[in-house]
Structure 1
Amino acid sequence: MSGPLLVLEDIRKTYISGGGLAVEVLRGVSLTVEAGEFVAIVGSSGSGKSTLMNILGGLDRPTSGRYRVDGRDVTALEGDERAALRRDGFGFVFQHYHLIPGTTAQENVEMPGRYAGLPAPLRESRAVELLGRLGLEERRHHRPNQLSGGQQQRVSIARALMNDAPVILADEPTGALDSASGAEVVALLRELSAAGRTVILITHDRKVAEAASRVIEMRDGRIVADSGRPAPPPVGAFPAPPERVVAGASLWTDAGEALSAALRSLGANGFRTALTLLGIVIGVASVIALLAIGEGAKQAVMARVGALGVNLVFVLAGSGDPRLPATPLTEADGEAILRLPNVESVMPYLDTPVMVRHGNIDHRTEGLATSASLPLTHRWPVAQGAFFTRADERAGAAVAVLGHGVAERLFPRGESPLGKHVLVNNIPFLVTGVMAKKGDLTGNQSTDDWVFVPLSTGVQRLIGKPDLQLILVSVHDVGRIERTRDAIHALLSERHGQEDFQIRDVTARIQAAAETQDTMTLLLGCAAVITLLVGGIGVMNIMLVSVTERTREIGIRMAVGARAADIERQFLMEAALVAGLGGLVGVALGLAGGAVIGLLAMPVVFTATAIAGAVASAVLTGMVFGLIPARRAARLDPVAALASE
């Protein structure tokens, strides 16, 4: 070191009062302090000594003048540079200790080391060593409210020594202590000076100032007396400084400190935290439950539509335009379609209302006249017996296959319908089979409630005319279904001489149903997201209150070297933690609520994507709405923050 450690040249500081009046607190202070000096600055209240200390420690900046630390001009330093100056150059000992409530003595001492980037094991051993040197090793796990005033001040001295700062700034360190504790603190400061540190003591007590080797008196913002500057004292023995990373804390170190601080803050205000969580919980639970309901409804509709078969093409009679004459569909049309490439089977279709009777049980349902290809075309197996054959069709046989529901209605005692006769519109039909349970495919009537008879038999005995309502076509290759549909269109247009038919396939129906259900799911999701945003506003409000309540804590962290990014990260972490906890509780509530709805009302389907997305959205919401409070905290002035109540 080639020159003085601290040099102030014509330092002036002017504050603007609330009424807009300029108040000059420092009036051209010039001062030089050598390394290793023990300097006491004395003066009455309002003399400007505390303001001078704030400027010396980088907590405040002068209105004009120059200030150099070890030859470096620090007058115009901003942001992180000033934080680094405080972290690596100065240790603060305050009149009211300024320990963080809710943290232990050791955690308070470790704090500067966190912001300096010290590894956890080195930081912990250094804190234990310092507290042991100051007689507090057995009290290191006690919180500030469990320590006496003298013990708290010794903890603050240990914190000031954590990063081995070359300058110790003590602002009225004995002001809140009894005489015995005050004497102990003064003795510690003298010992630190003897160990080679530069100690600057701010006090109004001249007896305390006598402990220093140099006394400077201030009055009305000026230095009015200086006892002179003796040679630096010899270097004594004090805990050796750690090897520190002067670039500051790493992202993970900062995140760990932010997380631990957030947990302490949330735990200290449990009821308020619960109220804050409520909005997020309701929002996430709504997202989970409503998306599950939407997905369940979508899959149910898709199942009904898909059960018809994705390989099916529907050829319907009539163009849909009543002004055009219509040529009915015929069995010959079906046979011609069957000869087209990629066509697997053709199922003609005629239906009519029928009354079915067995014994003294009557049941009104739908009779379906069709071909023997129905099980293949519809991918619909027979559960009992067998479906009628093509020979039955050619012979016009009076045979019938019952739907699962019809069989249960006509034979309620579990009696097998096979080989029995039933009356269909008072015409006896022999039951040859019972279809497997299929379910509701049409949205209004279950296909399990149909009776199936050969087409020729139905035309002759039940319907009376051969005009087909529908021809159902199954294809081999679903990838070529559009080409097959075009071929059917060309064939029928040629046969009929006009377009008096309609062609549909299940792919289009599935797509339309999917789009409809996606829209409904989106609407449900939007409603849930609105609830989540309301919860986010609640997080922002409570975080703004937290910043106001913890302003002094923020000032303390800044005094020991926290950068603006460290403060911002801490409050963002806290907001994310609140939202994340709310998200997890909301997931549990949403799963429970959705399960109850699924049992009582409708199908629900939970997806990992929806659950993960809801939690991620909650955390993101917390961080977005926590950004304003976090930035407000990071932009606080350290001096103003320390002075807050």
Structure 2
Amino acid sequence: MPGQAGPQPLIALRDVTKTYVNGDLAVEVLHGISLDIHAGEFVAIMGASGSGKSTLMNILGCLDRPTTGEYRVDGIDAATLGGDSLAHLRRETFGFIFQSYNLIPSATAAENVEVPAIYAGLSAAARRERAAQLLSSLGLADRMDHRPNQLSGGQQQRVSIARALMNGGRVILADEPTGALDSRSGAEVMALLRRMSDAGQTVILITHDRVVADHAHRLIEIRDGHIVGDSGARRPAAAPAGVAAEGGGDAGALGVADMAEAVKMALRALRANLFRTVLTLLGIVIGVGAVIAMLAIGGGAKQSVVDRISAMGTDLLLIRPAQTNSRTADGVIATLVPEDADALAELPNVAAAVPELLGNVTMRYGNTDYQTQADATTPSFTVARNWPVDRGGFIAPRDEAGYAPVIVLGQTVARVLFPEGVDPMGRYVLVNNIPFQVIGLMQAKGATPYGADQDDVVFMPLSTGSMRVFGKRFVRSITVQVQDTARIDETQAAVQALLEQRHRRQDVQIRNMSSLLETVSATQNTLTILLGSVAAISLLVGGIGVMNIMLVSVTERTREIGVRMATGARMRDILQQFITESVVVSAIGGAIGAVGGLGVAAVLRAFGTPILFSPGPVLLAFGCAFLTGLVFGYMPARKAATLDPVVALSAE
């Protein structure tokens, strides 16, 4: 190393000042410090509280930058280094021993020691072996799996020393290492520092205690930001060759913690505050479970719709006027007329062509009034629509030809108008104050998949409805029943051509049953998406909860972040760690929510609700949970990654 091979100092400060600005107030803490420290020296920097010694240590350890002046480490000007390069320098050159130990509470002694090597890219096996070796050499072989709160102060400080040595520790920076220890533990720590110095490592001791400072080979006194005394080196400062590389192995590598290690650290951090983690999980669990359950319900409803429409038959063509056509004064689209149906009935492969004119009417029987829908149509309706009569008969050709005032009731209308025990057959009802005789009752159809009551309708001859009830000659639709469904497309083309010939323009829309199924499916898909979107709101709320909890976690673990930065973590390492924690908690919540959502859907199916299980919604919901953790974890992670190491270490 340059610091060993020649007179060039390992650490050199020239006219270094440090000024802290708080609003309009500027306080200069260091005043033109110039200092050289050579490799292998054991230096004590002594001063009273407020003298600037801790600020000087932060600058020496690249945790802070000088306001003015020059600071060189091994000939490299620290001012020219970016954040990642400074992190590399801290990781490969410095080892920190703090007065308050600064151990990670949720990690064991061995895991605390391994931290610097994680950011150096050392393999897990090599890290464990190196940590065990260091802890054993410091008399902590039987305490490696203990957490900090299970260790005495002296033991915690020895763990801190082992962590400082993990990557080799060319320069050991010890800030009041005995300040929080009893005299016996303090003596043990100083003996360890002396042995490190004897082994050739550079040790810089920050203290206010003269007795502690006397263990060093060189004493530098600082007062009010000025160096007021320097005893000079008491022995040649020559570090043995190979000291810098000892123990680091692959410590010079610039790798980041692998994903498995990041997940392990995330689980450890989440376990440390289990109750808060459960509350965070709850929002994700509810969101994912709701999305899966809602999509399963929507998929089941869609399948039910498709099944019901398919049961009507696939041999129908539904003809409606195009919406762009002109309308009559009362808003009716003036396109289709009953004669179009007569012409269509003559086409090959057409079994029936049924025109329909629908409108709302007021029915009255006795003292009961009821509003319902009237369908003026032709005798072929029951065959084309596969809807038979339950009692009596349907409209006959003679009724259509003679404008007969006859009517066929749906079951709902009959039940409302006629009291129990009264047979509606043959009785007269008023339709918009026009008397009609009841000649039949339709079979019950029930509700549509959308909840509409299909039995809330009455039927009358098209001629009667057009002339006497609605006063319109244009029909709303024509239903064409084909004989051979294999030729339905050919028949559709023939129908289109005939209507264009009759109307001299293209003014109708024709849908066969498969097209209708596609339309209904698309509508149902929209409803399913709507249900999923509503459920996704809870997932969004859960994501906001994750972000809030992670922000709290960053605040609570600010000192831990500072320790990780001091041991060599780069910005992207901290960013990765906190994003991983957010993703892990979201992924766990997503898995639990997926199981819960499937369970809820299964229970609903047991109670008769149409449910469709498919892997798509499960994967979608779980993926959204994962993405939620990634997106909502970024802001807290970035806040953690951009913390200043000095500020983070000084946090309470």
TM range (shorter): 0.7 to 0.9
Describe the shift of the 1:195–1:311 C-alpha distance in structure 2 as closer, same or farther (beyond 3 A): farther
Q: Deviations over 1:416-451 (max 9, x none)?
A: xxxxxxxx99xxxxxxxxxxxx9999987999xxxx
Q: Deviations over 1:256-299 (max 9, x none)?
A: 33322221221121111121222222211221111112111112
Match of 2:565 in 1: 558
1:472 maps onto 2:481 in alignment: yes
1:303 maps onto 2:307 in alignment: yes
Describe the shift of the 1:613–1:500 C-alpha distance in structure 2 as closer, same or farther (beyond 3 A): closer
Among candidates 40, 44, 48, match of residue 40 of structure 1? 44
Q: Report if the CA contact (8 A) 1:194-1:235 is conserved.
A: no
Return the alpha-carbon distance in structure 1 between the equivalents of residues 505 and 149 of structure 2. Answer: 95
What does 1:109-508 correspond to in 2, within 5 Å?
A: 109-229=113-233, 230-232=235-237, 235=240, 240-250=246-256, 253-310=257-314, 312-314=316-318, 326-327=338-339, 336-338=347-349, 346=351, 471-473=480-482, 475=484, 477=486, 481=489, 483-491=490-498, 503-508=510-515
Question: Shift of the alpha carbon at 1:126?
Answer: 0.9
For structure 2, the residue ranges without an aligned partner over 5 or more in a row are 326-331, 357-377, 387-424, 427-444, 456-477
Match of 1:91 in 2: 95
Q: Please report the RMSD computed on the Cα atoms of aligned residues, expressed in angstroms.
A: 3.7
Question: Shift of the alpha carbon at 1:226?
Answer: 0.7
Match of 1:393 in 2: none
Q: Report if the CA contact (8 A) 2:482-2:491 is conserved.
A: no
Q: Deviations over 1:355-386 (max 9, x none)?
A: xxxxxxxxxxxxx9889xx9xx99x9xxxxxx
Return the alpha-carbon distance in structure 2 between the equivalents of residues 498 and 142 of structure 1. Answer: 88
Return the alpha-carbon distance in structure 2 between the equivalents of residues 179 and 583 of structure 1. Answer: 53
TM-score under structure 1 normalisation? 0.76
Match of 1:13 in 2: 18
Return the alpha-carbon distance in structure 2 between the equivalents of residues 160 and 94 of structure 1. Answer: 10
Q: Report if the CA contact (8 A) 1:325-1:500 is conserved.
A: no
Q: Report if the CA contact (8 A) 1:94-1:156 is conserved.
A: yes
Among candidates 560, 583, 594, match of residue 587 of structure 1? 594
Match of 1:510 in 2: 517
Partner amino acid, structure 1, of 2:141: E
Return the alpha-carbon distance in structure 2 between the equivalents of residues 640 and 501 of structure 1. Answer: 75
Question: Shift of the alpha carbon at 1:559?
Answer: 0.6
Return the alpha-carbon distance in structure 2 between the equivalents of residues 497 and 228 of structure 1. Answer: 111
Partner amino acid, structure 1, of 2:180: A
Return the alpha-carbon distance in structure 2 between the equivalents of residues 497 and 13 of structure 1. Answer: 92
Return the alpha-carbon distance in structure 1 between the equivalents of residues 69 and 500 of structure 2. Answer: 97
Q: Report if the CA contact (8 A) 1:324-1:500 is conserved.
A: no
Return the alpha-carbon distance in structure 2 between the equivalents of residues 65 and 58 of structure 1. Answer: 14
Return the alpha-carbon distance in structure 2 between the equivalents of residues 212 and 264 of structure 1. Answer: 39
Q: Percent identity?
A: 54
Question: Shift of the alpha carbon at 1:495?
Answer: 9.3
Match of 2:620 in 1: 613
Describe the shift of the 1:13–1:303 C-alpha distance in structure 2 as closer, same or farther (beyond 3 A): same
Partner amino acid, structure 1, of 2:265: A
Question: Shift of the alpha carbon at 1:528?
Answer: 1.4
Return the alpha-carbon distance in structure 2 between the equivalents of residues 563 and 210 of structure 1. Answer: 36
Return the alpha-carbon distance in structure 2 between the equivalents of residues 528 and 274 of structure 1. Answer: 20
Match of 1:410 in 2: none
Question: Shift of the alpha carbon at 1:336?
Answer: 4.2
Partner amino acid, structure 2, of 1:617: C
Q: Report if the CA contact (8 A) 1:168-1:198 is conserved.
A: yes
Partner amino acid, structure 1, of 2:74: D
What does 1:517-528 correspond to in 2, within 5 Å?
A: 517-528=524-535
Q: Report if the CA contact (8 A) 2:121-2:254 is conserved.
A: yes
Partner amino acid, structure 2, of 1:211: H
Return the alpha-carbon distance in structure 2 between the equivalents of residues 441 and 51 of structure 1. Answer: 78
Describe the shift of the 1:571–1:160 C-alpha distance in structure 2 as closer, same or farther (beyond 3 A): same
Among candidates 100, 105, 108, match of residue 101 of structure 1? 105
Partner amino acid, structure 1, of 2:83: G
Partner amino acid, structure 1, of 2:19: T
Match of 1:398 in 2: none
Describe the shift of the 1:322–1:349 C-alpha distance in structure 2 as closer, same or farther (beyond 3 A): closer
Return the alpha-carbon distance in structure 2 between the equivalents of residues 240 and 267 of structure 1. Answer: 34
Q: Secondary structure at the match of 1:327?
A: helix
TM-score under structure 2 normalisation? 0.75
1:636 maps onto 2:635 in alignment: no
Question: Shift of the alpha carbon at 1:327?
Answer: 2.9
Per mean C-alpha deviation after superposition, the further-off stretch among 253-262 and 629-638 is: 253-262
Return the alpha-carbon distance in structure 1 between the equivalents of residues 499 and 95 of structure 2. Answer: 94
Return the alpha-carbon distance in structure 2 between the equivalents of residues 11 and 442 of structure 1. Answer: 80
Return the alpha-carbon distance in structure 2 between the equivalents of residues 324 and 263 of structure 1. Answer: 70
Per mean C-alpha deviation after superposition, the further-off stretch among 492-501 and 48-57 is: 492-501
Aligned residue pairs: how many?
Answer: 541
Match of 2:538 in 1: 531
Q: Deviations over 1:92-142 (max 9, x none)?
A: 011111111021111111110000000111111111111111111121111
1:60 maps onto 2:72 in alignment: no
Question: Shift of the alpha carbon at 1:484?
Answer: 3.3
Return the alpha-carbon distance in structure 2 between the equivalents of residues 257 and 442 of structure 1. Answer: 52
Q: Report if the CA contact (8 A) 1:104-1:144 is conserved.
A: yes
Question: Shift of the alpha carbon at 1:470?
Answer: 5.3
Q: Secondary structure at the match of 2:64?
A: coil
Return the alpha-carbon distance in structure 2 between the equivalents of residues 474 and 100 of structure 1. Answer: 80
Per mean C-alpha deviation after superposition, the further-off stretch among 187-196 and 266-275 is: 266-275
Partner amino acid, structure 2, of 1:549: E
Q: Secondary structure at the match of 2:338?
A: coil
Question: Shift of the alpha carbon at 1:532?
Answer: 1.3
Q: Report if the CA contact (8 A) 2:95-2:567 is conserved.
A: yes
Describe the shift of the 1:234–1:589 C-alpha distance in structure 2 as closer, same or farther (beyond 3 A): closer
Per mean C-alpha deviation after superposition, the further-off stretch among 79-88 and 589-598 is: 589-598
Among candidates 603, 611, 622, match of residue 596 of structure 1? 603
